[in-house]
Amino acid sequence: MALVSMRQLLDEAAKGGYGVGAFNVNNMEQIQAIMEAARATRSPVIIQASRGARSYTNDRFLWHLMQAAVELYPEIPVALHLDHGNEPETCRSAIELGFTSVMMDGSLMPDGKTVAEYEHNVAVTREVVEMAHARGVTVEGELGTLGGIEDGVGSGEVHLTDPEQAVDFVQRTGIDALAVAIGTSHGAYKFSREPDGQVLAMDRILDIHKRLPDTHLVMHGSSSVPRELVDIINRYGGEMKPSWGVPIAEIQLGIQHGVRKINVDTDSRLAITGAIRKAMAEHPDEFDPRFYLKPARAAMQQVMEERMTAFGQAGHAGDYEPIGLDEMAQRYAGQEAAVS
């Protein structure tokens, strides 16, 4: 199976009432862990790479690793998504490489830190939609900003998504999926206490979904930061501070109200780092990277399987035949013609 359109994955998820995890990668072991988890749970999946990941891995290495993934796991529908594209040219380069989905994060300026004006966000997002849809590629946009900074992205400020403005944004840009800001943050240190309605505004999702029932919503910064993973890191020499992530129950509530894509990165990092620290501490005489990368890969796979099951995507890998990007482009063209 070739890489598939993320729009198809999200459309099918909406029909089935489940969410699809979008997991960040930087290397081969992470891709392997995700694909093994997808096979074990029979899940469709979104693999995403940030600008930092593309630089670290190198685009050509990343592309060929993904080609190996779809060749070795032909039964798994998988979309390759650009996470937090900072300007149209970044999205264009991903589309030309073969990404089947891109995010134009126009909520921030190209530096990835400065909060952008609303009209700037509309303009750059619409520009990306026009170029992407002509190739059958899915587009995710963002309205509002998350807290925290991860992989060089983030203003450090939280600006919650305005539900009324969200309607205008979707109508004017034509995006396939909308990332909403509800108080979550990038990174491991999301909340200083267990989140409740005062810090995690799930009511925004419910309101936006009522206004935009046919728009796929996206939750960024949705790692749960499991205490047991942090404890492993600290037990073997780490010094992570106490923190709370997004409870699985809150993510599941979002899925019930239009959330179809859930971004998870920190949980993977925690699992990998804990496993590596443990292996090195218990066997200080070992020097073969495979010795600690194998348990690291297995630890990440376990977390991925848990998330795929919790999000409801497990068991849905064989539900549908993949739609090629050429056909998706024709569908987009037909939608544009109908509107005009």
Instruction: Give the residue numbers marked as catalytic.
Output: 83
**Residue 202: in which H helix or E strand, if any?**
helix 202-211
**How far is the C-alpha of 271 from the C-alpha of 233, rounded, in Å?**
9
34, 68 contact by CB (below 8 A) = no
246, 215 contact by CB (below 8 A) = no
Name the token pair of 127. 């520009």
36, 301 contact by CB (below 8 A) = yes
Q: Which of helix, strand or coil describes residue 140? A: strand
Name the token pair of 251. 């993510």
Which burial class, exposed, middle or buried, applies to 249 when counting CB atoms under 10 A from its CB (0-12, 13-18, 19+)? exposed
Per DSSP, 163 falls in state H
**How far is the C-alpha of 255 from the C-alpha of 258, rounded, in Å?**
6
- The 10 Å CB-count burial string (b at 16+, else e) for 196-220 is eeebbbbebbebbbeebeebbbbbb
Distances (CA, A) of 111 to 107, 157, 235, 257: 11, 15, 37, 33
**How far is the C-alpha of 175 from the C-alpha of 155, rounded, in Å?**
23
106, 124 contact by CB (below 8 A) = yes
Task: List all residues 6 or more positions away from 96 whose beta carbon is below 8 Å from its beta carbon.
Answer: none
| Residues comprising the chain, all counted | 340
**How far is the C-alpha of 121 from the C-alpha of 5, rounded, in Å?**
24
